[in-house]
């Protein structure tokens, strides 16, 4: 049939009055009771059966079925879950299967409010479903209940639908007043009409007596169900607050507030409900933009703070009160819907489009715009922070939960918050778009895919935090920051206790604590022996110290990595004593040369020597782990005043992805020496496992060093191509590279991202003194978290007693597959792809004795 063809509604006089229902029409009936909807639905279905239409009834609500089971009607049951995207896509898939010219009845849309706790998402559902039905030349009837929804939600439906009809009734009469009839008009079409279900009469009200009766009925209906000017979400929280103020027990309501706003993770929910007070929930809502979940990062931060408040009051006293804001997860879908991106969103979620459409989707996210209502709320946040800097962080629904940390997968954006209000608003909105678009990054997509999460709802909520710190001249930074772990599966020194926890501590912003930076190392603090270092000489301490601190330059409004020398004139002397240490050996050598000069480096020495502070950090991590019943990973800042008073800002907390072995695998003692490719002790991290290898990718350190700088990135690209070529072929691979993997500096190693090494079973970094490459076991870095979560075994080869044997020359007798890949003309001899599938290459890793053996 042709689009816009007239069809019969089963009520001939209504067809005349409305100039017929047309193919493509979505017809929304706003009623006081579903019995009113049935007065119009039943003739429509009866006529459709007579016309032998393809009739489909979507059943998802808790109310009684709207249609009796009949052979002519196909009923499709769709579970109404809290997952908006799953529900919407399930319905879209059924509509797509039904094809053109189908006739639909939907259960009451008002029931969506119960599942999603907000009117906003009902409007979004209709906004994306109505156009899809329209292009397939269908007809669909939707009921909604009067007075249940906000004006904003109704307006969203009004803007999208073709027909919107208000139904009112009293004991004698049924009235219909068309609110919208798209692309049709007449002198009487939008007048109120009377409808007689028995005779089928459908007549406009033209005389004063009938008109007065209609307005009396209209007035009664509107008084009994006043239209809301706020979302059902807000009305719910207002009601719960009133119950609390009147001394009524709200335990049940607190449970629901947790379920609709905090987290979907069952374990996290249990802990939140145990540790949160009603005022905690109200405080979250008061600092929230929009509706939905606040996401894993926000939930983890708030939960950790509540645990410390409840269990360690002395530590709670030194915690900075947070002043965070949250953009609810529903805003992510709303942004997509409002910018007409839903179609590409759905296509990207398919197996064919999962990777191929990601860049296009991300680009279109960056090109979108926010509604005026959203911008007004953004301005309130900006004005709250004045001109202090803040950071907009990802806080997706799946993030920072048990088993899925998403460490470093999504963006966080620092905002200097300077300039005119319009400039600051543009900066704020751009930051949100960057975080939203980062959900389509290759690393994020690969992570979700590898962990079986590709089909899960991944709504992006946002955590907005003021940057904790102080102004030092033109620069802004905290005194120190870092990451803290309640359990350390990697021992830096033999006599340390992994259960005491550890810190990765830096001066300035904490980004330097989680990212590998050229020539810069954080201070590793074992909390059972905070002052103890694995370096015995001041020269080594200096060599492996933090070379640059990250700060916000408030003049350029940019993040900068700066050496201490460039900041020295702006740093007060008391802080210098806390953060710096003298290289006494270098100073001694200079004196011998007649040059008296202080040689200082960042070591955070005064902080680790502060016993009360270190004890509180240890107890804080231990107490949170105790509540989680699982090791935790935190982010924090430390600020300290001239009189020694300090404060800790707990920014993030999540379950730590650790791999702990008990006895490990037994390493065979009877392996002939000529079969050993690698044997080492004390340089590996990962679970105990025995496996066979199919491929070993080896980057020759000397040849890599000699490679022209412009070609070094080709090595990383080739490693990525190998990774993606074999990732779904069930091949077990080992990667051997010089220096650091994942660095951004080719002179330090191979600059790969985790997405390009995610399919390798073993990552091996090698030391090569001839050309200056050194492994760095960056425990606590994002790439380390990736290796742990992906159960990838990490090992390092040092030129010392820890490496019992290393014979890469053994591999040269294997077939080299380099010529099967791009860049072989440049990289042949630099990179080798050895096929060892026929050589019985076995991997033995004993965690208990820290003993690794690879035979080949």
44 pLDDT tier (thresholds 50, 70, 90): very high
pLDDT tens digits for range 398-410: 877 665 666 667 8
- For the record, the structure tokens of 201 come out as 């009469």
Q: Are residues 536 and 494 in the same domain?
A: yes
Segments in 82-202 forming alpha helices (H) = 84-98, 112-116, 119-135, 151-160
Judged against a pLDDT cut of 60, whether residue 490 lies above it is answered with no
Distance CA 279, CA 277 (A): 5
780 pLDDT tier (thresholds 50, 70, 90): very low
Q: Are residues 814 and 738 in the same domain?
A: yes
101 within some domain:
yes
Query: Which of 446, 467, 488 finishes a domain?
Result: 467
Q: Are residues 22 and 87 in the same domain?
A: yes
278 within some domain:
no
Do 271 and 304 contact (CB within 8 A), yes or no? no
DSSP designation for 380: H
Distance CA 685, CA 659 (A): 8
DSSP string, 686-737: S---EEEESEEEEE-HHHHHHS-GGGHHHHHHHHHHHHHHHTTTT--EEEEE
Q: Are residues 425 and 533 in the same domain?
A: no
Q: Are residues 576 and 449 in the same domain?
A: no
pTM of the model: 0.79
- Write out 813-825 in H/E/C secondary structure: HCEECHHHCCCHH
549 within some domain:
yes
93 pLDDT tier (thresholds 50, 70, 90): very high
Q: Are residues 627 and 729 in the same domain?
A: no
Judged against a pLDDT cut of 70, whether residue 683 lies above it is answered with yes
Q: Which of 54-68, 197-211, 502-516, 692-706 has the highest mean pLDDT?
A: 54-68
- By mean pLDDT, which of 466-475, 590-599, 847-856 is the weakest? 847-856
604 within some domain:
yes
pLDDT (0 to 100) of residue 407? 66
Q: Which range marks the domain in which residue 74 is found?
A: 6-224
Mean per-residue pLDDT, 131-154: 92
Q: What is the CATH number of the domain that holds 590?
A: 3.30.470.20
Do 776 and 516 contact (CB within 8 A), yes or no? yes
Give kind and range of the element (H or E) at residue 177: strand 174-181
282 within some domain:
no
pLDDT (0 to 100) of residue 300? 95
Closest Cα to residue 325, out of 256, 378, 259, 268?
378
CA dihedral 362, 366, 368, 373 (to 10 degrees): 120
- By mean pLDDT, which of 225-234, 291-300, 717-726, 834-843 is the weakest? 225-234
pLDDT (0 to 100) of residue 587? 79
439 within some domain:
yes
pLDDT tens digits for range 611-661: 999 999 999 999 999 999 888 889 999 999 999 999 999 999 998 755 444
Mean per-residue pLDDT, 120-134: 93
Distance CA 233, CA 415 (A): 30
pLDDT (0 to 100) of residue 397? 86
Residue that the structure tokens 């751009």 belong to: 430
- For the record, the structure tokens of 596 come out as 């008296």
390 pLDDT tier (thresholds 50, 70, 90): very high
Q: Are residues 443 and 503 in the same domain?
A: no
**Interior/surface letters 241-269, b for 16+ CB within 10 angstroms, e for the rest:** beebeeeeebeebbeebbbbbbbbbeebb
pLDDT (0 to 100) of residue 660? 43
Q: Are residues 507 and 407 in the same domain?
A: no
Q: What is the CATH number of the domain that holds 167?
A: 3.40.50.300
Query: Which of 655, 684, 718 finishes a domain?
Result: 655
Number of independent structural domains in the chain: 4
Q: Are residues 429 and 507 in the same domain?
A: no
pLDDT (0 to 100) of residue 714? 93
**Interior/surface letters 696-733, b for 16+ CB within 10 angstroms, e for the rest:** bbbbbbebbbebeeeebebbbbbbbebbbebbeeebbb
The neighbouring-strand residues paired with 794 are: 685, 763
pLDDT (0 to 100) of residue 776? 65
pLDDT (0 to 100) of residue 662? 40
- For the record, the structure tokens of 22 come out as 């047309």
pLDDT tens digits for range 560-604: 998 888 988 999 999 999 999 988 888 788 888 888 888 889 999
Judged against a pLDDT cut of 60, whether residue 716 lies above it is answered with yes
Residue that the structure tokens 């066979």 belong to: 692
Q: Are residues 313 and 411 in the same domain?
A: yes
446 pLDDT tier (thresholds 50, 70, 90): confident
Overall residue count recorded for the chain in this entry = 856
Judged against a pLDDT cut of 70, whether residue 788 lies above it is answered with no
418 within some domain:
yes
pLDDT (0 to 100) of residue 722? 93
Q: Are residues 796 and 824 in the same domain?
A: yes
Strands (E), 603-645: 632-640
pLDDT (0 to 100) of residue 135? 93
305 within some domain:
yes
Distance CA 769, CA 771 (A): 5
Residue that the structure tokens 């042949």 belong to: 828
Q: Are residues 461 and 513 in the same domain?
A: no
CB atoms inside a 10 Å sphere around CB 198: 5
2 pLDDT tier (thresholds 50, 70, 90): low
Mean per-residue pLDDT, 464-491: 88
Query: Which of 467, 487, 522 finishes a domain?
Result: 467
Give kind and range of the element (H or E) at residue 315: helix 313-318
Sheet holding 632-640, edge to edge: 523-526, 502-507, 480-485, 632-640, 646-655
Q: What is the mean pLDDT of the chain?
A: 88
């Amino acid at each position: 049939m042709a689009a816009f063809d007239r069809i019969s509604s089963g009520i001939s006089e209504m067809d005349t009055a409305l100039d017929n229902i047309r193919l493509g029409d979505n017809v929304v009936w706003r009623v006081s009771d579903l019995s009113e909807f049935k007065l119009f639905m039943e003739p429509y279905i009866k006529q459709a059966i007579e016309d032998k239409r393809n009739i489909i009834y979507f059943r998802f609500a808790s109310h009684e079925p709207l249609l009796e089971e009949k052979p002519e009607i196909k009923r499709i049951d769709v579970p109404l879950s809290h997952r908006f995207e799953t529900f919407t896509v399930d319905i879209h898939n059924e509509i797509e299967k039904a094809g053109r010219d189908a006739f639909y009845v939907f259960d009451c849309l008002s029931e969506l409010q119960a599942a999603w706790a907000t009117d906003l998402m009902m409007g979004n559902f209709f906004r994306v479903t109505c156009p899809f039905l329209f292009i397939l030349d269908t007809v669909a009837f939707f009921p909604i209940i009067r007075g249940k929804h906000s004006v904003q939600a109704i307006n969203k439906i009004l803007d999208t639908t073709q027909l919107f009809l208000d139904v009112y009734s009293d004991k004698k009469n049924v009235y219909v007043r068309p609110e919208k009839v798209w692309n049709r008009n007449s002198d009487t079409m939008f007048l109120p009409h009377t409808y007689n279900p028995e005779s089928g009469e459908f007549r406009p009200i033209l005389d004063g007596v009938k008109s007065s009766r209609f307005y009396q009925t209209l007035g009664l209906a509107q008084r009994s169900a006043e239209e809301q000017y706020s979302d059902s979400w807000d009305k719910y929280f207002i009601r719960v607050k009133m119950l609390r103020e009147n001394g009524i027990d709200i335990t049940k309501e607190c449970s629901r507030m947790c379920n609709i706003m905090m987290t979907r993770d069952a374990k996290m929910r249990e802990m939140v409900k145990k540790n949160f007070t009603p005022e905690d929930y109200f405080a979250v809502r008061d600092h929230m933009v929009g509706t939905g979940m606040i996401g894993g990062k926000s939930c983890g931060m708030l939960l950790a703070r509540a645990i410390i408040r409840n269990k360690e009051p002395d530590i709670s006293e030194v915690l900075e009160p947070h002043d965070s804001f949250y953009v609810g997860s529903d805003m992510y879908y709303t942004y997509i819907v409002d910018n007409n991106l839903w179609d590409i969103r759905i296509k990207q979620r398919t197996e064919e489009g999962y990777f191929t459409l990601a860049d296009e989707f991300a680009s279109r996210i960056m090109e979108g715009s926010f509604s005026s209502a959203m911008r007004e709320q953004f301005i309130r946040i900006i004005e709250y922070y004045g001109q202090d800097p803040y950071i907009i962080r990802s806080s997706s629904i799946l993030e920072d939960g048990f088993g899925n940390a998403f460490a470093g997968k999504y963006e966080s954006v620092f905002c200097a918050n300077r300039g005119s209000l319009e400039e600051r608003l543009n900066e704020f909105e751009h930051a949100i778009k960057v975080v939203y678009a980062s959900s389509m990054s290759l690393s994020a997509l690969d992570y979700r895919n590898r962990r079986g999460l590709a089909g899960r709802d991944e709504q992006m909520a946002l955590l907005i935090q003021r940057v904790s710190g102080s102004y030092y001249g033109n620069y802004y930074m905290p005194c120190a920051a870092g990451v803290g772990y309640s359990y350390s599966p990697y021992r830096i020194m033999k006599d340390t206790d992994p259960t005491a926890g550890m810190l990765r501590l830096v001066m300035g912003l904490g980004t330097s604590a989680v990212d590998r930076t050229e020539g810069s190392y954080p201070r590793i603090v074992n909390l059972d022996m905070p002052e103890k270092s694995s370096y015995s000489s001041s020269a080594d301490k200096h060599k492996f110290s933090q070379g640059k601190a990250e700060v916000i330059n408030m003049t350029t409004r940019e993040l900068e990595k700066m050496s201490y020398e460039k900041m020295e004139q702006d740093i007060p002397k008391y802080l210098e004593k806390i953060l710096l240490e003298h290289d006494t050996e270098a100073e001694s050598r200079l004196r011998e040369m007649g040059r008296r000069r202080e040689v200082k480096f960042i070591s955070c020495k005064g902080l680790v020597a502060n016993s009360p502070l270190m004890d509180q950090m240890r107890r804080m991590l231990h107490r949170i782990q105790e509540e989680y019943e699982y090791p935790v990973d935190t982010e924090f800042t430390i600020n300290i005043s001239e009189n020694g008073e300090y404060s800790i800002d707990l920014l993030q907390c999540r379950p730590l992805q650790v791999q702990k072995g008990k006895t490990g695998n037994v390493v065979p003692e009877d392996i002939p020496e000529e079969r050993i490719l690698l044997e080492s002790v004390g340089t590996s991290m990962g679970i105990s496992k025995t496996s066979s290898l199919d491929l070993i990718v080896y980057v020759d350190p000397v040849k890599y060093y000699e490679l022209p700088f412009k070609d070094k990135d080709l090595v990383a690209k080739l490693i990525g191509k190998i990774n993606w070529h074999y990732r779904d072929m069930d091949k077990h691979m080992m990667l051997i590279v010089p220096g650091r993997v994942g660095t951004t500096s080719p002179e330090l190693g191979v600059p790969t991202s985790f997405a390009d090494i995610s399919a390798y079973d073993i990552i091996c970094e090698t030391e090569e003194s001839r050309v200056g490459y050194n492994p760095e076991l960056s425990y606590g870095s994002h790439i380390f978290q990736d290796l742990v979560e992906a159960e990838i075994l990490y090992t390092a080869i040092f030129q010392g007693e820890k490496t019992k044997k290393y014979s890469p020359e053994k591999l040269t007798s294997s077939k080299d597959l380099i010529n099967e890949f791009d860049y072989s003309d440049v990289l042949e001899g630099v990179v080798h792809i050895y096929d060892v599938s026929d050589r019985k290459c076995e991997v033995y890793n004993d965690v208990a004795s820290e003993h690794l053996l690879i035979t080949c």
